[in-house]
Amino acid sequence: MLIDSHAHLDSERYAADREAMLIRARQAGVGLVLSIGIGEGPAEMHQALGLCREFNGRPGLPRLYASAGIYPHNTTQADDGALAKLDALLAEPEVIACGEIGLDYYHEGAPHNVQRTGLIRQLEIAAARKRPILIHCRGTNESTDAWDDVFLVLEEYRKRTGLGGIMHCFGGGWEQARRSLDLGFLVSFAGNLTYPKAQPLRDVAARMPLDGILVETDAPWLAPAPRRGQRNEPAMVVETAQVLAGVLSVTPDEIASATTTNFFRLFPSSKTWETDRGTPGGSPQIV
Ligand SMILES: [Zn+2]
């Protein structure tokens, strides 16, 4: 079984075939998908939870969990009302993570100081709800500026709370990967790992310990190499896992087993349904 640790299932690009898309994922061996709850802004943060409630329990689908968070460029909308909504969502048993949150200095958008304040306020809420965080981090071109700022915040946060998280769609260098591992964070690889020009990223992945990795699609974006530019979907996480297996010189089964174990270690509550019900995609068992 594989876990897609990051997919935007609430994207309107799935409006016409969302259930069929999820069935394809299950048939490809994907047993669980973490559905990211950022929407197009805080007003849509609840949509991922809505999908858990809509689809969990239907036969032949992966089990769905959700996150909720305010994306870096939407932090201009992180007012008291939006943060109260985030707090309420993180109280729900299906909403196991806070994210994706972080810093994005690559694209023009929210000012950097607004992003940092938004990140810190969301970390407070995640800590109070004991929810691991999903970090989006992208620097200005080749610079590590956003990473340097994110580590300043996270190293302090880790010391204070002991809480971990995931570096989603990892695109940093070895220094950033090593610091993430030192923080106890998991490093998640997406379809960009498969792109011809991504040899530097594959070189970083080749140095990763098996107990520090996850795979994800970031669907509907970042379809793996043969289908780059097309709509991505959770079934295609299999291709990223295959490339990662090659890079690490292990079998695809070993990648599946390691990434699943790592996910359940970070989110123990998401394992309960599997052990209670035996088969992924079975009836939900929420604790
Ligand atoms: Zn994402």
What is the block-wise mean pLDDT of the chain (287 residues), using blocks of 10 residues? Answer: 98 98 98 98 98 96 98 98 98 98 96 97 97 96 93 94 95 97 97 97 98 98 92 98 98 98 96 53 40
- 68 by Cβ neighbours in 10 Å (0-12 / 13-18 / 19+) ranks as buried
d(CA 257, ligand 1 centre) in Å: 23
Q: How far, in Å, is the centroid of ligand 1 from the Cα of 139?
A: 16
What does the pLDDT read at residue 32?
Answer: 98
Q: What does the pLDDT read at residue 284?
A: 42
Task: Quote the ligand 1 centre to 219 CA distance (angstroms).
Answer: 8
What pLDDT sits at residue 226? 85
Compute, in angstroms, the gap from residue 218 CA to the centroid of ligand 1: 5
- The CA 42 to ligand 1 mean position distance, Å, reads 15
Calpha distance 139→18 (Å, rounded)? 33
pLDDT computed for residue 280 by the predictor? 43
Distance 168 CA to ligand 1 centre (A): 7
Cβ-contact 136, 101 below 8 angstroms: yes
Closest CA to 1 of 273, 282, 258: 258
Query: 221 CA to middle of ligand 1, Å?
Result: 8
Say how many Å lie between the CA of residue 7 and the centre of ligand 1: 7
Q: How far is the CA of 216 from the centre of ligand 1 (A)?
A: 9
- pLDDT value, residue 175: 97
Q: Measured in angstroms, how far is the CA atom of residue 6 from the centroid of ligand 1?
A: 6
pLDDT, residue 141, reads: 85
Taking alpha carbons only, the member of 257, 247, 236, 262 closest to residue 21 is 236
